[in-house]
Structure 1
């Protein structure tokens, strides 16, 4: 296979392009960038020399990868934006690089990132995630695996969204979202567990029932959170998904959404 670079594209020296990379018209790739084999870079895409992009990604028109962070503290340190494999990055997505020395913005693999999404400095985006149009993350946000995010969704800095959760269009995320949660909008609230998503991912009925019982204790029992967690530990000790839920809640820096 060979690399295909449109005659109007600018690829600076010391760019590393894997086999089968395609670079579309009017795109610009800075010296130092690394792009893995089979990745397709569409038209008018800007890729910084601090970008590290894996294999078989599709990057659409107008995307910007690895630009300096939108952070007044940034002093030009060497940081990076790192993207895994098999991602679809749609039109006008912006993925900024980290903000402090050796800081990293990380996007995993097998994600669908729709148009106008912003991934800010030092965010950590996992694998198998769907982000609809205009999800906007502040810095240091963590999105765990198998999350689905509706469109027009702002996420406050340092928030963490747990795996297998689903957040509805137009919600405003200012606290951590526990794993397995279904989050409604207007107002932003926990609406139960993401039961349809868990069925689609082949969770057992026993596990789904246990998680549902946990959410009922946390959100509907009127117990203080500490008491609800104690009851969950007593009733569901040894269920791996419940242990993960408990660990997530107990380590939450911004506290979980409790509405």
Structure 2
């Protein structure tokens, strides 16, 4: 398939465009942008480098991807953005490069960023996540695989969102969200497991039963977080997914939402 570039598009001679790429009217592709094969760049989309973009990504109108960090410490040093395969960036979504010299904001593969979503500098996004409209990440947020963030929700800088977690709409996240958890509210609270996500991804009933046990300990008001972890470590049926929760909690610097 031949690359197609509309005559009104502005493409820097220092950009690298793969094969089979479609670039629509009035799109802007800046210096240092590397576009992988079979990407689709819709009218008025803006890609500013340095960015390394994998194949089959789609950028809708008026998204701005790869702009400089909004961090006031940033002084124009060379920083980067890396994007994997098959992501979708809908209208007016924004993703910013790192703040620190030689470092990158990183997005995995097969994620969907709906309209007006924002990924700030130095974030790390996994694979197959869904960001609903106006979901916003501050700087240095880490998001695991298969995470769903509800519309109009905001995540504080340096927080971590564990794999298969769900954040309800209009939530305020100021601490880490455990893997497989469902949090909701302003401020957010741990409400349950992400049962819908677990079933959609075909987790066996025995695994869900073990994760329910973990949730019960964390929701027990008689246990602090360290005590809950001690109980979980003694659990006879210590599955890989339960171990992931334990490891995640132990690695938390901001504390977890309970």
Paired position in structure 2 for 1:107: 107
3-state SS of 2:66 partner: strand
Gaps of 5+ in 2: none
Q: Is the 8 A contact 2:173 2:187 kept in 1?
A: no
1: CA distance, partners of 2:103 / 2:114:
25
CA shift digits 1:229-251 (9 cap, x unpaired):
11111114641001110000000
1: CA distance, partners of 2:236 / 2:202:
20
CA shift digits 1:181-239 (9 cap, x unpaired):
01122552111111121111111111110110011011125212222111111114641
3-state SS of 1:243 partner: helix
1: CA distance, partners of 2:225 / 2:120:
31
2: CA distance, partners of 1:212 / 1:139:
32
Paired position in structure 1 for 2:192: 192
3-state SS of 1:248 partner: helix
3-state SS of 2:172 partner: coil
Number of paired residues? 258
2: CA distance, partners of 1:45 / 1:128:
22
Gaps of 5+ in 1: none
Give the 3 Å change call, closer, same or farther, for CA 36–235 of structure 1 in structure 2.
same
1: CA distance, partners of 2:254 / 2:13:
44
3-state SS of 1:55 partner: coil
The 5 Å alignment of 1:219-238 reads 219-220=219-220, 222-236=222-236, 238=238
Give the 3 Å change call, closer, same or farther, for CA 224–48 of structure 1 in structure 2.
same
Q: Is the 8 A contact 1:237 1:243 kept in 2?
A: no
When the two chains are superposed, the root-mean-square deviation of aligned CA atoms in Å is: 1.1
What's the TM-score, normalizing by structure 1? Answer: 0.97
What's the TM-score, normalizing by structure 2? Answer: 0.97
Q: Is the 8 A contact 2:8 2:25 kept in 1?
A: yes
The 5 Å alignment of 1:63-212 reads 63-212=63-212
